């Protein structure tokens, strides 16, 4: 019963103020497990509104059981009105000779918490009457009550006669019906009765089946079966789908229709059971098939849209949502034509009736014309699309599926591929494939005169080795920009290889080519990469004088001339490069020149003591000048940092000896000192860098330079430390003798400087 029904019931029961009687404050409450909630009590509800039996409420006081309420039928039976019966004892209402049976059963009913049915006798209206009495315990607002029903025995006998007839009919139907039927005890789940159809279905005998509970057949947990059984008993649910186990162990899915049934005054659950295994298997297979189809459509990159037979949208996959801007929930059930307008890409003429045409004709359609789809925000996207009918099992058309692809990106990729096919990715200039395509045209091959310029970048390998390929790429890009700008739109500039460029000049002669080369060289002088690296290119030119001259042969002449010029320029270029690097190093560290002069003086004096020959002395002087050349590749913030370097910064600083080695390796004249530059930071005990050489494995000149360099650094101000005294520097050399420095050379050097 709903809460508002409870309130209505309370108002009818509690007509007086709360001070008059406990009955006036009755409120529904469930107490323990055996109390029945007032709102759910059938007899209380009938007592208030519908019951034709005599009904009353008892509650217990210190003096015994007394009445607090009765209905109209009870008033007619006893002669006591609702007002008169209130707070009257059992003895007063029933008579002294008869009240004890009622009192005894009321006490038992209260203590046990169960309904009791007994035959009672009372003296009402001057007449002794025998009645069948039912007492039911109820707790309301923390007060225990007894609901008393005085049953009319004649009406009861009539009901039992009718019920017997109904029971007989039910039994006949139960035993003869072909449907599987079970009669179940609600409280325990025990199978009370099973018809022959049930015995045939489950494979048990009647004796076996009635000795079992429904839990032993149902493969769900006992707790779950109990909960669902109670729902059926309370009519909350009447249909269930269960897995039932047959005697042979087979599991069958069954539909169970259950409803409560009272037979001979006892409640039962009457269940009709239908085998649904095949249906459920088919449903599972269909679901799996649909899920597989949905998963497939969800996973593909093409957009998929389906409609029903009316042309209304029934599905969008994620790719369609992404491409169109629509979410499936926004458009399902709406007209395809209204949500997804399409048109010709160039004329914008609408494409109307595509879905309707497929529904009517039943034929697939592939749109070959350039087509656009209008997105949710009105933006057009170019698409490739096709439409096909969706057919049902009986062959009718149940809808349309459209598959489409946004080709915006594919067009961009195609354009990009076409561009890269004829262009160099780094510089944006034409590439060798363009050259081949260019001269495959007959009209181009016939053009004359036609000048060819071949150029080769000087010092690119050294730039890459010293400063890294990123700086080398910047150099190439700047050179490419200069060539393109100088050549103009008339001439074709091509990146021929890693450090080679070519310019094809249709209708131009050698004078034009030489003039262009001079112009390019002038413009290249303005380029400074990383503030240090100059752009230098060696050029060769050749002329195609007649239509019969092969472009390949002319190009070869230009290339040969370029190599000749490169040889003439290479020596001066190397000198220029080294000087530029030294100048850059001077800018990075202002004390470099003075430091180099002091080192040269010290190492020559030590060389004299060691009786080194002229060649060794020359190498030592060259090493003194170039040992720190690799610092041109170290960032300024590290070289000029006043405090201690971080671990990462120190790792970068240590690379300067390897950078210097690579620089010297690119200049043939410096090959004699490459190893000594590389190892000038090795230590006598092998803890130095970059190779961890120890002892006399370290080149002699590197060991000499290490001592002199350390002394000079200690005795002069540095960005990271002030100058130390001559004595402190000597003590430090002595401490590091045998670990960092060659001990024999340390002794010689200390002996040398002690005479200053």
Residue 463: closest CA among 674, 619, 659: 659
Q: What pLDDT does residue 580 have?
A: 63
Cβ contact 364:386 at 8 Å:
yes
Dihedral sign for Cα 471, 670, 690, 640, please: negative
| Beta pairing partners, 119 | 132
Q: What are phi and psi of 59, to 5 degrees?
A: -140, 155
CA dist 636 and 160 (Å) reads 111
Structure tokens at 752: 């040398």
Q: Which of 75, 73, 77, 70 is closest to 56 using CA atoms?
A: 70
What pLDDT shows up at residue 42? 45
Helix (H) / strand (E) element for 469: namely: helix 469-487
What integer pLDDT is reported at residue 296 of this predicted model? 65
Is-contact 559 540, C-beta < 8 A?
yes
Let me know: does 267 contact 260? Beta carbons within 8 Å.
Answer: yes
Residues in the chain: 756
pLDDT at 416: 83
Count of beta carbons in the 10 Å neighbourhood of residue 452: 24
The answer to whether 700 and 673 have CB atoms below 8 angstroms apart is no
Measured CA to CA, the distance from residue 172 to residue 164 in angstroms comes to: 12
Backbone angles phi, psi at 191, to 5 degrees: -80, 110
Q: What is the pLDDT of residue 299?
A: 63
Look at residue 506 and give its three-state secondary structure: strand
Contact 447, 438 (CB under 8 A): no
pLDDT along the chain (756 residues), means of 10: 39 38 38 39 49 84 91 88 91 91 93 90 86 87 85 66 60 75 88 89 91 88 84 82 90 88 80 86 72 67 90 91 91 93 90 91 89 92 91 85 87 83 91 90 88 91 80 92 93 92 93 92 86 83 90 90 73 58 63 75 87 81 85 84 88 91 80 90 94 94 92 84 88 93 92 76
739: number of Cβ within 10 Å? 12
Of 386, 372, 382, the residue nearest 411 (C-alpha): 382
CB 534 within 8 A of CB 580: yes
| The pLDDT of residue 639 | 83
Ordered by where they begin, the domains of the chain are 3-151 (3.30.450.20), 158-280 (3.30.450.20), 303-406 (3.30.450.20), 423-573 (3.30.70.270), 589-753 (1.10.3210.10)
Global confidence as pTM = 0.41
C-alpha closest to that of 447 among 487, 510, 506: 506
What's the first-to-final CA gap in the chain, in angstroms? 117
| Residue in 581, 574, 689 with CA at minimum distance from that of residue 625 | 581
Measured between alpha carbons, how far is 138 from 109 in angstroms, rounded to an integer? Answer: 10
How many angstroms separate the Cα of 106 from the Cα of each of 32, 47, 64? 19, 19, 10
pLDDT for residue 168: 62
3-state secondary structure of 609: helix
Q: Is 94 exposed, middle or buried (0-12, 13-18, 19+ CB in 10 A)?
A: buried
pLDDT at residue 581 in the model: 64
Lookup result for tokens 């080194």: 612
């Amino acid at each position: 019963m709903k809460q508002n029904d409870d309130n209505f019931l309370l108002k009818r029961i509690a007509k007086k103020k709360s001070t008059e009687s406990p009955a006036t404050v009755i409120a529904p409450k469930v107490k323990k497990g055996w109390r029945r909630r007032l709102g759910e009590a059938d007899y209380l509800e009938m007592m208030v509104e519908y019951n034709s039996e005599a009904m009353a409420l008892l509650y217990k006081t210190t003096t015994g059981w007394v009445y607090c309420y009765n209905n109209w039928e009870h008033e007619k039976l006893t002669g006591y009105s609702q007002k008169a019966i209130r707070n009257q004892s059992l003895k007063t209402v029933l008579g002294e000779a008869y009240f004890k049976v009622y009192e005894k059963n009321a006490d038992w009913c209260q203590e046990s918490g169960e309904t009791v049915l007994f035959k009672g006798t009372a003296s009402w209206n001057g007449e002794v009457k025998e009645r069948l009495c039912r007492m039911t315990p109820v707790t309301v607002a923390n007060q225990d009550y007894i609901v008393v029903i005085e049953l009319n025995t004649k009406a009861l006998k009539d009901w039992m006669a009718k019920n017997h007839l109904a029971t007989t009919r039910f039994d006949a139907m139960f035993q003869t019906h072909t449907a599987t039927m079970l009669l179940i005890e609600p409280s325990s789940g025990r199978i009370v009765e099973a018809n022959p159809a049930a015995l045939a279905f489950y494979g048990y005998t009647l004796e076996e089946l009635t000795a079992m509970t429904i839990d032993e057949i149902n493969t769900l947990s006992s707790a779950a079966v109990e909960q669902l059984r109670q729902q059926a008993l309370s009519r909350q649910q009447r249909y269930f789908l269960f897995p039932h186990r047959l005697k042979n162990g087979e599991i069958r899915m069954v539909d169970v229709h259950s409803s409560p049934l009272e037979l001979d005054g006892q409640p039962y659950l009457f269940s009709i059971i239908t085998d649904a295994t095949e249906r459920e298997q088919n449903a599972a297979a269909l679901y799996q098939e649909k899920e597989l189809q949905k998963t497939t459509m969800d996973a593909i990159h093409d957009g998929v849209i389906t409609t029903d037979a009316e042309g209304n949208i029934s599905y969008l996959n994620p790719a369609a949502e992404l491409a169109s801007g629509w979410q499936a929930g926004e458009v399902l059930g709406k007209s395809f034509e209204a949500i997804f307008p399409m048109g010709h890409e160039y004329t914008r003429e609408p494409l109307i009736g595509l879905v309707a045409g497929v529904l009517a004709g039943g034929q697939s359609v592939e749109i070959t014309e350039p087509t656009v789809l209008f997105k949710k925000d009105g933006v057009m996207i170019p698409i490739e699309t096709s439409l096909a009918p969706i057919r049902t099992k009986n062959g009718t058309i149940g809808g349309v599926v459209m598959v489409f692809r946004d080709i915006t990106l594919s067009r961009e990729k195609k354009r990009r591929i076409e561009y890269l096919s004829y262009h160099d990715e780094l510089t944006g200039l034409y590439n060798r494939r363009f050259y081949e395509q260019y001269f495959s045209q007959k009209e181009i091959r016939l053009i004359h005169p036609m000048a060819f310029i071949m150029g080769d970048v000087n010092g690119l390998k050294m730039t890459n080795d010293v400063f890294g390929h990123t700086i080398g790429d910047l150099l190439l890009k700047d050179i490419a920009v200069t060539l393109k700008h100088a050549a103009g739109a008339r001439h074709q500039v091509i990146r021929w290889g890693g450090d080679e460029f070519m310019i094809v000049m249709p209708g131009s002669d050698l004078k034009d080519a030489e003039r262009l080369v001079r112009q390019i060289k002038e413009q290249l002088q303005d380029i400074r990469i990383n503030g240090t690296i100059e752009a230098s290119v060696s050029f060769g030119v050749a002329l195609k004088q007649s239509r019969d001259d092969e472009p390949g042969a002319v190009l070869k002449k230009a290339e040969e001339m370029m190599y000749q010029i490169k040889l003439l320029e290479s020596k001066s270029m190397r000198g220029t490069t080294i000087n530029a690097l030294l100048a850059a190093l001077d800018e990075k560290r202002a004390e470099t020149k003075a430091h180099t002069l002091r080192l040269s003086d010290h190492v020559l004096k030590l060389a004299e003591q060691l009786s080194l020959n002229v060649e060794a002395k020359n190498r030592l002087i060259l090493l003194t000048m170039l040992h720190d050349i690799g610092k041109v590749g170290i960032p300024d913030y590290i070289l000029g940092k006043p405090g201690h370097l971080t671990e990462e910064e120190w790792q970068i600083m240590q690379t300067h000896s390897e950078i210097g080695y690579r620089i010297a390796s690119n200049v043939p004249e410096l090959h004699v000192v490459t190893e000594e530059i590389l190892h000038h930071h090795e230590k006598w005990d092998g803890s130095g860098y970059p190779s961890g050489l120890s002892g006399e494995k370290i080149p002699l000149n590197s060991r000499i330079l290490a001592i002199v360099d350390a002394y000079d650094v200690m005795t002069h101000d540095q960005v990271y430390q002030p100058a130390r005294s001559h004595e402190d520097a000597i003590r430090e050399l002595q401490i590091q003798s045998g670990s960092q420095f060659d001990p024999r050379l340390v002794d010689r050097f200390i002996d040398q400087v002690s005479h200053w």
